[in-house]
Amino acid sequence: MGSEARARLGMAGLLMATLLSFSQLFARQDFFGPAALGVALATGIAMGARRRGLGPLPTVGVSSAAAVWYLVIVFRAADTFYGLPTFDALAGLGGALGRAFAQSQFDVAPIPGRPGYVIMVTVGMWAAATLGELATFRWRQPILASLPCIALFSEALVIGTRAVAPFWVALFLVALLAYWGLESSHGLRAWGRWVSAWPGHDDEGPSTVTASIARRMGASTVAVALIAPVFFPLFGGELLTWRTGAGAGGAGAGQGTPTGLVDPFVSVRPRITDQTDVPMFTVRAESPSYWRLVTLENFDGTTWNPQAFNGFDLPSGGFDAFERLPFGPEARTLTQTFSISGLDGGYLPAAVQAVDMPTGSPVYNSTRIDPSSGYLRTTSEVAEGLIYSVTSNLPDVGYRQLRRVTTFGHPDDTLTELPEPLAPAVGDLLQRWTEGAPTPFDELLAIQERLRGFTYTLEVEPRASQDYLAEFLTTTRAGYCQQFATAFAVLARALGFPARVSVGFLPGRPTPEAENVFEVRGTDAHAWPEVFFGRYGWIAFEPTPRADFGAEPPPYSEPPSPTVASGLGPGGRAAPGGLVRPNNTFEFTGNPALGNVPAGPVPAPRAPGSTFQWERTFARISVVTLVLTLAFLVIVPATKAVRGRLRYGRAAGPVALAAAAFAEFQAEAGELASPRGASESAAAYVRRIAARRRVPLAGATRLARIYEAAEYARAGVGQGDADEARALAGELRRKLWATASWWDRLVRLFSVRGVG
C-alpha cells in the first residue's frame, strides 16, 4: 500500500472513530448509516475534484451542493422533483434543524433519532471528511484536518451519556495518533526519494523521523483531548444541557415554569409561589377535568422531578408511538379546546390522557408527547392568543372495581422506590392509618381521608428540616397541594404501590357565557398524586383539603350513588386523571418485588424513533447502495477479465498478437507494480519493473524485444515469436500476482482505471 493510501486509511479510521463516539448520544444506532454514507460520498467527491484539478473553493462548492442533495434525498425525498431538490425540500430541512435546536432544550441523552439531530451529525461528518481530504493531501496540514474530528468528538463526549467513556477516549486517541503517524510518513515521502544508509533498503521510509514526529503530535493530541472537555461546557449552547440534565426539566428550567403556576417540580419543603388570580386559559369541554401539565416520577427525598423527556413528535405518529400503559376496558372521550391567556412555558395543558390533536393545530408540528407519562411539550410559543384542541380519554372506573384490584405492578420498578426508609414516626403513623383496611384500595383511601383532615393553607413557614415529611405529618399537619401530594405518593410507595405526582390545574369555573367553557386562573394551580392500578392504569387521588371548586375526592372514593353513576363527581365534575385505550398489547408479568401476577394487556412500547420517515427512506437507499456495491465488485473484475480475452480474440496475425501480449503485461504491471510513464520505452519499463524484483529480467526483456520488433521492425514478427510473447505475458502476470501485496491485488481487481 502506498503512503497516500495509508494516510487516507488513517483519515478514514479517525472519521469512523469520531462518528462511532456519537453512540453515546443516540438511543439507537440509526444515525450511523446516513452519516457514514455521507462521509464516503464527501471523501469520493474531494478525491475526484483533486484528480480533476479543481481548486479548494470549487471543491467545497461542489461538495456543499452534493451534501444538500444527499440530505434532501434521505430526509425530504417526498418533496423532490424527480430526485432534484425543491424549495419545499430545502424548507423542510431547515424546519427539521430548527425543531432539533428547540428540542435540545429538554432532550436528554440518549436521544431518539430525530431528523434534525441526524442531519446535524451528517453535516458535521461531511464537513470533517471534506476538510480532512483537502488539509491532508492539498495543504499538508494534518492538525487542521484533525480539528473538526476533535471538536465533534469533544461535543459527543461532553453531552453524551458517558457510557464507557474511557473506551471512546482511548479509541479516538489511537485513531488520531495513527492518522498523524501515517500522514507524517506520507508527507516525508512527498519530499523526495528516501536514500537509506543500508544497501538494498532504499524503499524503506524514515521510520525514526516519522516516529519522532508522531510522538510529539501524540503528546499534543492527549493534551487537547484532556483540555477540550474542560472548556467546552463554558460555551453555553442549549445542546450542552444534555450533559447535565438541566434541559430535562431540572429546577430553573425557564420554559418549564408557567407564569402563576405552582412550581411543577414539587418539593417536600414548601415553595411559596405567587399564585395570582390572573386567568391562565379557558377551555371548552363537555365536562370539567383536571388539566395536567407534567407528571413527575422521580423522587430524591426532597424534590419530585420528571423522567428524562425524549418525546415523540406528533407529526411522526407520537400518539401511537409513546409507551401506553394499561387502562380499564371502558373509557370516555373528552375533546377540549384551550384558549391561552396568561399561561406561558413549554407545557400544554390537557386532560389525562391526551390521545389525539388535529393536524391543523398551530402547535401540532412542534409538539411532542412524553414516551412514558404521556404529557405534552412544545417548542412553539405558549402565550396569549394561542388556541388549540386536544382529545383525551378519561377513566370510567368505579369504587367496586378498584376494591377488587390486587395487582399493582408497573413495568418501571423505580416507581415504587424511596431514596431512604421512612422515619420511625412516619412508619408508625402509616401503620395506624391503614390498620384494618380490608383491601389495598381501602389502604389508599384511608391515607387520603387522613390527609384531608389536615389544614390547607398557603401560609406555611418556609423553613428547612432534616425530615420535613415527618414534621408535616406529625406536627404542622398543614400545607398546600405540594405537601399533600408528596405525602400521599411517598406513603403509597412505602406500602409498595407504584405512585407519582402530576402538576397542572383544577377544572376551573364555568363562565357566564357558557356552562361548558371553564376559566382557569393561577389560583387553580394544583398538584395531585396518582397510583398505578394494574389493568386500570393510573388512578388519581385527592388528598388536598381545598374547599374551592374542583378539589374534592374523586367519585370512585366512595360507593356508587345516583350522582356518580355516570362516572362524574358531584355537580357533574369529572374524576381527575385519565386512562388510555391501547392499540397493540403484550402480556405484562407484574412487579415480582410486590408478588404481582399478570394484570391484563399492556401496550407494547415502541422503540424510540421507529416512526421516523427518514429511516424508511434510508433503508431503501441502503438496499440500493448495497446492490450497486455488489454489482461493482462483480462487474469491474469481470470486465477486466473479458477485456484481456478480447485483446487476444481480436488479434489478427502475429504482430497484433504480440502487441496484445505486451498490453496484457502492461495492464497487470501498471496496477500491481507501477504504471508505465508517458515517454518510457517498453524496454526501459520492463527493466524498471524487474529492478523492483517483481518479475524476472530475462523474460521481461524478451517480451519487450518481441513487442518492439512487432511495432517497429519492417518485417514484424513471426507466429512463433507471437506465441512466445503470449506465453511470456502469462508467466509474468502470474509472477506479478505472486509478489504483489494484498492491497495491490485489490487495486488490480477493483480499480476502474483498467476498465476504460
Give helix then strand counts, H and E, for the chain.
Answer: 21, 21
pLDDT tens, 309-364?
878 889 888 888 776 655 545 578 899 999 998 887 788 999 988 989 999 899 99
pLDDT confidence of 253, banded at 50, 70, 90?
Answer: very low
All structural domains of the chain with their residue ranges: 3-193+203-244, 256-602, 634-754
Whole-angstrom distance, CA of residue 632 vs CA of residue 750: 8
Residue 11 confidence (pLDDT): 95
Residue 248 confidence (pLDDT): 35
Between CA 654 and CA 656, with CA 655 as vertex, the angle to 5 degrees is: 95
Residue 463 confidence (pLDDT): 55
Secondary structure of residue 142 in the 3-state scheme:
helix
Residue 304 confidence (pLDDT): 84
The residues, any chain, with a CB within 8 Å of residue 43's CB and separated by 6 or more, are 8, 11, 12, 129, 130, 132, 133
Say which range, 259-263, 490-494, 503-507, has the weakest mean pLDDT. 259-263
Question: Could you tell me which residue, 1 or 640, shows the higher pLDDT?
Answer: 640
Whole-angstrom distance, CA of residue 616 vs CA of residue 74: 9
pLDDT confidence of 740, banded at 50, 70, 90?
Answer: confident
Between CA 585 and CA 597, with CA 591 as vertex, the angle to 5 degrees is: 70
The answer to whether the CB of 283 falls within 8 A of the CB of 517 is yes
208 C-beta neighbours (distance < 10 Å), count: 8
Residue 212 confidence (pLDDT): 59
Please say if the pLDDT value at position 261 is more than 60.
Answer: no
Residue 259 confidence (pLDDT): 40
Helix (H) or strand (E) holding 635: helix 613-650
Whole-angstrom distance, CA of residue 116 vs CA of residue 516: 40
Say which range, 101-115, 175-189, 530-544, has the weakest mean pLDDT. 101-115
If phi > 0 it is left, if psi is from -120 to 50 it is alpha, else beta; for residue 83 that is left
- Name the residue among 115, 116, 92, 120 with its Cα closest to residue 613: 115
DSSP bridge pairs for 456: 479
Chain centroid to Cα 413, Å, comes to 25
pLDDT confidence of 398, banded at 50, 70, 90?
Answer: confident
Residue 1 confidence (pLDDT): 64
**Mean pLDDT over residues 152-174, rounded?**
87
The answer to whether the CB of 327 falls within 8 A of the CB of 580 is yes
pLDDT tens, 583-605?
222 232 333 332 333 333 333 33
pLDDT tens, 90-135?
998 998 888 777 667 656 677 777 788 999 999 999 999 999 999 9
- Name the residue among 367, 337, 16, 368 with its Cα closest to residue 176: 16
